[in-house]
Amino acid sequence: MSVLVDERTRLCVAGITGREGTFHTLNNRTYGTDVVGGVTPGKGGQDVEGIPVFDSWEQAVAEVQPNTAMIFVPPRFAADSILEAAAAGVELVIAITEGIPAHDELRVYNTIERERAGGHSTRLIGPNCPGILSPGKANVGIIPASFFEAGNVGVVSRSGTLTYQIGNEIARAGFGCSTIVGIGGDPVPGSSFVDILELFEADEETELVVLSGEIGGSAEEEAAEYIAENMSKPVVAYIAGFTAPAGKQMGHAGAIVSGSAGTAAAKALALEAKGVRVGRTPTEAALIAVEVLGGASLAAS
Amino acid sequence: MDLLEYQGKQLFARHGLRVSQGKPVTNVQDAVTAAAEVGYPVVVKAQVLIGGRGKAGGVKLAADESELREHAANILGMDIKGHTVRTVWIEHASDIASEYYASVLLDRSAKKPLVMFSVEGGVDIEEVAEKTPEKLIRHHVDPLAGLTRADALRIASEGGADRDVVEGVADALIALYEVWMQEDATLAEINPLIVTPEREVKALDSKVSLDGNALYRHPENQSLSDSENEDPLERRAKEEGVQYVKLDGDIGILGNGAGLVMSTLDVVSQAGGAPANFLDAGGGSNAETIRQAVDLILANEAVRAVLVNIFAGITRCDEVALGLIGAFEQIKPSVPFVVRLDGTNDAEGRRLLQEAALPNVHAATTMSEAAEMVVALAAGQSVGAPA
């Protein structure tokens, strides 16, 4: 098992005809992901290296039945593309696009929540995220798959490169990952740490979860509460941004300390208070994960 | 993007919120003209993006021209916690019967807009929230539906607004929500929202943050913000499209990916160093972006050593290496560099750097090792063999 993406993934990509969209879609296909189509309004009927392009999500769903959407369109069109994919019934929407206005994200999030109340069940990952990789099964997004091996560590992160750094150190120590989920660095992510922790807790293959957080918001604090109450599996954390000054946006739109809220220190404390070990560096977080895993397998043998 | 008080008030006025008549000016003579126009008594208010203006002497009441001249001359050019006052706002002074508080912000946890109202205005609202939370009304709004008049009336009345101004406060809340919604704000705050003896409800101050990602749909807001007080390097970075934040230390940082760069700052300070900047060269860094980034980092004269920390995913280490080699040829840095290349094509990148034999460039393999080396170099110590 793994979570969210695997051999059953049928991927359709909005923005497949753009330079970045084409590049990463083909990368995903080369990895083994089943790419069934693309959506670019006005380019229906064309194809990208044999992948059929449709004018709308509705058409794509009718013709090739994707269960996963990847959004690669520019920020000003991204919100509508996400909502169109959701309305067409795609179960999982992964939005890579960076720079979507926060108000658009609010509209998207609350629309999807309202639909959920009506029985619809689209899950949004991102925006401003690197995507999801289940090593050996499927890669949807821009995560460089070569750094990861298949295994039993679940990774959930607000940052891309930091995830690669941690995953790579885990791989070098001889361990692999069940799934790597980038939830993105924006203020209103479609899925939070808690949503993904819930999936990893239920996933048979995942034995340990590495959570990589950063300054801004309170998603890490909420994760700490959830872990204490609902997780039987060990969680190891890393938090970036201890030296970030208040009021300054550190690259990601969501990475900002507001007044005294959202600091890295408060997040690390909240996690540690619930028994989650927090690495001081990405390397240390990976080493703790390896230590816990090593201990677990020794105990089992 | 944070707005100055008067810029926020101008936005308020556009959406029907009552504000006092006023003018922004940058010299004493214009202040005199502005005061004559709005009518004495006037308030002279320093326009800086930092709290505590009043305590610092940046807000003064002037009854006549001679007082105005004195205050304007004192406040213009004043330094308030590192911010130089270049503009003062001259506003007709208001009589105050009550001071309330109102705000609309993006609640990231609830993923909804949050409207807050209190009759305990004119003081630090975080303190009110902490000590007397019952005096702060918090109301989440469904962003798809907006703030209804019935909700606004209930917030005003439950919050304890005087009966005769419940309608006026509700109008102000609706206008403030409109500012937040239509201007793509992440924060729109009025503290204090005053009631005058004539029972008018007015915004006496403003704190507005706009979403930089949404500026494309608000061309009229693009020139706002405190560009005069912006750090010149941060302004240049913004113009060049580079994610850069100036910090107080002496170790320049170049990395790719916001999370990794934040982490690099942390690891450097754990090693006893002080980062001079945050710089995210981005996921698809190529030779040109690297050259541009090095140039920007070295434009900060405080920088005594630079750490380049790359974990290449989409980025390729050989591209980064070529960028560094090109940057060194053009810029000829006088400070030492530590370069850690990991990820896609890292061996090739390291080989290119080694062959180029750049002066005073040191290779590191892990983040911690790189941090220790750069801290030592910044302190003037020597480290192992060059790259």
Locate the chain B residue with the closest alpha carbon to A158. Answer: B259
Q: B-chain residues within 8 Å CB-CB of A247?
A: 2
Say yes or no: A39 and A151 in one domain: no
Question: A301: which 2 tokens?
Answer: 């043998």
* Inside any domain, residue A188: yes
The CATH label, of 3.90.1150.10, 3.40.1390.10, 1.10.150.120, 3.30.1490.20, for the domain at B21-92 is 3.30.1490.20
CB B210 within 8 A of CB B185: yes
CB–CB contact B275 A158 (8 Å):
no
Q: For residue A247, is it within any domain?
A: yes
Answer yes or no: do A117 and A153 share one domain.
no
The pLDDT tens digits for A243-281 are 998 888 888 888 888 777 899 999 999 999 999 999 999
A51 with A175, same domain?
no
Min CA distance, A115 vs chain B (Å)? 12
Residue from the list B109, B262, B313 with its beta carbon closest to the beta carbon of A144: B313
CA closest to A143 among chain B residues: B313
Asked if residue A133 is part of any domain, the answer here is no
Q: How many domains does chain A have?
A: 2
Neighboring chain B residues of A241 at a CB cutoff of 8 Å: 262, 265-266
DSSP B216: G
Give mean pLDDT, residues B218-227: 82
For CATH 3.30.470.20, the residue range(s) in chain B are 98-220
Q: Is residue A117 domain-resident?
A: yes
A68 min Cα distance to partner chain B (Å): 22
Same domain, A113 and A149: no
- Do A168 and A246 sit in the same domain of this protein? yes
pLDDT at B286 over 80: no
* A vs B: CB pairs below 8 A: 170
Q: Are A110 and A186 found together in one domain?
A: no
Domain boundary among A125, A157, A191: A125
DSSP secondary structure string for all residues of A149-166: -EEEEEEEES-HHHHHHH
pLDDT at residue A160 above 90? no
Query: Can you tell me the distance from the alpha carbon of B12 to that of B14, in angstroms, rounded to the nearest whole number?
Result: 5
Minimum CA–CA partner of A222 in chain B: B109
CATH code, domain with A38: 3.40.50.720
Cβ distance of A243 and B266 shorter than 8 Å? yes
Last residue of a domain, one of A77, A95, A125: A125
User: A8: exposed, middle or buried (C-beta count within 10 Å: 0-12, 13-18, 19+)?
Assistant: exposed
Residue of A nearest to B278 (CA): A250
Q: Give ranges for CATH 3.40.50.261 in chain B.
A: 232-378
Confidence (pTM) = 0.93
CA distance B257 to chain A (A): 5
ipTM of the modeled complex = 0.91
Coil vs helix vs strand at B88? strand
Residue B307 C-alpha, separation from nearest chain A C-alpha, in angstroms: 16
Range of the domain at A89: 10-125
The domain B98-220 having CATH identifier 3.30.470.20: the answer here is yes
More confident residue, A221 or A144: A221
Position B139 scores a pLDDT of 97
Closest CA of chain A from B40, distance in Å: 36
Q: Which of A111, A222, A281 sits opposite B144 (nearest CB)?
A: A111
Q: What Å distances lie between residue A287 and A179, A187, A291, B250, CA to CA?
A: 18, 30, 6, 30
Establish if A120 belongs to a structural domain: yes
Phi and psi dihedrals of B115, rounded to 5?
-100, 130
Q: Where are the beta strands (DSSP E) in chain A?
A: 10-14, 34-39, 47-48, 51-54, 68-71, 92-95, 123-125, 131-134, 138-141, 150-157, 177-182, 208-214, 235-240, 277-279
pLDDT digit string, tens, across residues B19-44: 999 999 999 999 999 999 999 999 99
pLDDT tens-digit series, residues A72-100 = 999 999 999 999 999 999 999 999 999 99
Interface with B, mutate which of A19, A103, A113, A287 (most B CBs under 10 A): A103
A150 and A274 in a single domain? The answer is yes
Q: What's the CATH number where A275 sits?
A: 3.40.50.261
Q: Do A161 and B265 touch (CB under 8 A)?
A: no
In the CATH scheme, what is the homologous superfamily, with its name and number, of domain B232-378? Succinyl-CoA synthetase domains (3.40.50.261)
Enclosing H/E stretch for B327: helix B317-331
Question: Which of A115, A195, A243 is the best substitution to test chain B (most B C-beta atoms within 10 A)?
Answer: A243
Residue of A nearest to B214 (CA): A101
Q: Is residue A230 in a domain? A: yes
Please check whether residues A152 and A258 belong to one and the same domain. yes
Of A101, A114, A147, the CB nearest to B144: A114
Closest CB to A159: pick one of B106, B142, B258.
B258
B313 contacts A161? CB cut-off 8 A: yes
Residues of A with a known catalytic role: 252
Q: Which two tokens stand for residue A283?
A: 């390397």
Give me the pLDDT at residue B384, please: 65
Least confident of A57-61, A245-249, B276-280: A245-249
| Same-domain check for residues A241 and A283 | yes
